[in-house]
Structures are given as structure tokens and as C-alpha cells.
Copies of this chain bind each other. A is one copy, B any other.
């Protein structure tokens, strides 16, 4: 478990002035990792500081890093760094912070050449993601969606015992900014016993999620006990689990969602480390009286007391017309990562509880982060659903979202851009941002 330490001291400042601005996403207390490319350069790993990136490959080449970090910092992905012990990861964090701290300005002249403006680079996926599993950890989301797909049976009996999850598609994970073509797929027959059609998805949705990267993995046949799970979590990213609701409805029985999800999953370029998040850990979700206790293998004191992350999440929409008219994106969802019924540690421990092996760089999706309040619902399927109308999936009985252009949305239209933001803040620590996870919908391609 990471504890709050000197690297979180809110009075620390950087000689990179943009990091010290009030509300800056990437102050010296954050130090999120990324992989980026400069024009005509190879991919490098970097650390976000203010509006800059500290190029770790350059640092390694300039003698600013010591072993074993020189080797790790010269890789084209973060996997080697992510596979270090938590002790080595902490040491690396302190080293980076010392390079960037205001009072280390004697070195500033050596370090400044390793800074690159964030606007001058192309971000890449931060690591090789071997396997991606997606969970379903918000009980509000599960209940809302269950009400639509199974009105008489919204929350299944296993939900309060198992962190429900399924295997996702790793190949189609893309980094923020990658445009997403509206998928084409099979849609339900319009009458019982009729034939389905093949058409462009009409009910295209986003899902507000958080992705969690595995640091050190485990061997096949071994487990990760709940008390050790936090040591295997490297950091978090923002995730949009794009969803084709009409394709999903027709295909998902009996083996679960497949092509409704696999056309694209977008993540933000930044991994905010669990260590940076230490000041924002909180107790797990408070289960209502009468809910069952999780089984022993999913229970530990530290998980109960500090298994949560007080991370605030926001989703914005900007249509093509809004962009043309210079209007700011409109907020659709304002949610909290504390609304999840299951903690990240529980998801990881459960995932490995059958002996399944995790590899460094594997990603766990939280599932759609939805809260109790209507404006905290994490996808359009829930947001535009009028809860007293059963079985609203086909999209007819929906309350559309009204936009300042006079446009309405029940689901996403071509040209819409969805932008997810996330941040942690408290009275006693510097605010920490996650950057953005954005993607614009392009028209369907030829069938």
C-alpha cells in the first residue's frame, strides 16, 4: 500500500512554472507517465509537469538517471517501469521529483533540454496491453441497465458477491484523440422471427470508466491475495468504453458483449500512479444494511478503509455545430469513482482468484461509473432513459439531452466529440488532474 509521504507535500513547487499555477493538472505532486513521439523521433516515455513533458529517454542519455532507471527510461513503452517493485517505483518518483523541484534549480540548465511542450507531441498508448478485462463495478449502472434489458430481474443474484467482469478486446484500445468510426453491425429483426439487418449503429454511446494498469504480475496458477493487491496496481487512466447499444442488444446473449464493444476503446495518454493518488484514498463504498459481506478472499481491513479513490469524473459533449459556433463542450455527466460497489483491489484479487495470470501492462476497466443522481449516470443509455418506462433500449421512449445549439441527443451523432476529464482534490493536498480522454465520432464506413 502506498502511503502519503514527502513527495505529496503541497508546498513543493517546480521550476517549471506552469506546474505551479492554481488548479494545474500536473503539479510536481502528480508526475503522471506517458509515451509520446516528437515529429520524426522514436517513442519515448515521459512525465507530465505543468504543460511540459520531461523526456525520460533524454534524461537517461544526459546522465541524469542512475541504474536501474537508465535502462527503464530508454524503453519505447512504460512496461519495464511498471514491472519494477513498488520500492523501486517510489525511488524513481523521488528522483524525478528532485530533478523538477524549485530548489534543485542548480541543475535546471542540464534538465531543461529534456522538456518538451505537450502541444508539440503525438501521444501513444502508454504501454503494451496484453489483456484488457472490463468490470461492472457500479451497482447504480448495473441496476439501471439491468432494468432496461431485464425489467423483471434488474440486478442478478451474483452481483453483490462477485466483481462481475468479462474479457475485453486489447487490439482496439486507442489513445485519446483517435477518431472513432461509427461501427456497422447486425441489428435485431424488427419483428419476431424476422431477419436481422446489417446497418450502421444507431444507438452509439460512450461509457465513463477508469482504467487500472497492472504493475507487477503473477504467475499462472498463483493468486494475488487481497492484502497484496494494491502492490500490483500501477496507476489509473481515463477510459471511454464506446458501446453500440443496438448491436449489443442483439448479440450479447449468451456469451456477453462482443462487437458492440470491440470496435474501439479510448484511454487518456496519462497514467496517474497509485503513489500519486495516495492522499486521495478513501474508504470503500458503504454497502446498504442487509447487503452481504464479501467473501473472505475479497475482504481486508486496508481494502475496506482505503480501497476507494476519491476521484471526480466528468463527461463533456461537443457537437460539430457547437464547435462551429465556438461553443464550449457541455457537461453531460459529473460522477465520482467512490460510487463503485467493488474496489480495484477486489477486482484484481477476484480476477486472479482462479489462478489466472496478470502480465505487467494488463488493464482492468472499472465498468461504467454511475452514481445515484441522474446527472451522475455515466452513459447516454442511462442519462436519456426515463426510468419509469420499462425496456427503453430501442430508443423511442427517451428524454433527449438538449444542447445550446437547439440540437438534441438521445445517442451520439456523427461529428460529436466526447471528452472525459478526471481530477482529485482536497483541502490539504494539491489538486491532481488526469488530462483528457477524447474521441470524435466519424461516419460509418462503407458496408
In whole angstroms, what is the CA distance A167 to B256 when docked?
9
* Number of this chain's copies in the complex: 2
Chain B residue with the shortest CB-CB distance to A355: B263
Contacting residue for A167 out of B158, B169, B244, CB 8 A:
B169
Q: Nearest Cβ in chain B — how far from A435, in angstroms? A: 22
Majority secondary structure of chain A interface residues (helix, strand, loop or mixed): loop
Stretch at the interface among A112-120, A182-190, A373-381: A182-190
Q: Nearest Cβ in chain B — how far from A300, in angstroms? A: 15
User: Are B256 and A195 interface neighbours, CB within 8 A?
Assistant: no
Contacting residue for A356 out of B198, B256, B262, B359, CB 8 A:
B262
User: Are A165 and B297 interface neighbours, CB within 8 A?
Assistant: no
Interface size class of A (residues with CB under 8 A): 35 or more
User: Are B185 and A354 interface neighbours, CB within 8 A?
Assistant: yes
Chain A positions 104 through 133: 1 when the CB is less than 8 Å from some CB of chain B, otherwise 0? 000000000000000000000000001101
Contact A196 to B156, CB < 8 A, known contacts A167-B258, A172-B356, A262-B354: no
| Complex contacts, A149 vs chain B, CB 8 Å | 254
In whole angstroms, what is the CA distance A195 to B160 when docked?
10
User: Are B259 and A356 interface neighbours, CB within 8 A?
Assistant: yes
User: Are A259 and B296 interface neighbours, CB within 8 A?
Assistant: no
User: Are A181 and B221 interface neighbours, CB within 8 A?
Assistant: yes
Contact A131 to B169, CB < 8 A, known contacts A158-B250, A164-B255, A186-B161: yes
- Using CB atoms and an 8 Å cutoff, list the residues of chain A in contact with chain B: 130-131, 133, 136, 146, 149-150, 156-158, 161-162, 164-172, 174, 181, 183-186, 189, 192-193, 195-198, 220-223, 244, 247, 250-260, 262-264, 292, 295-297, 350-351, 353-359, 362, 445, 447
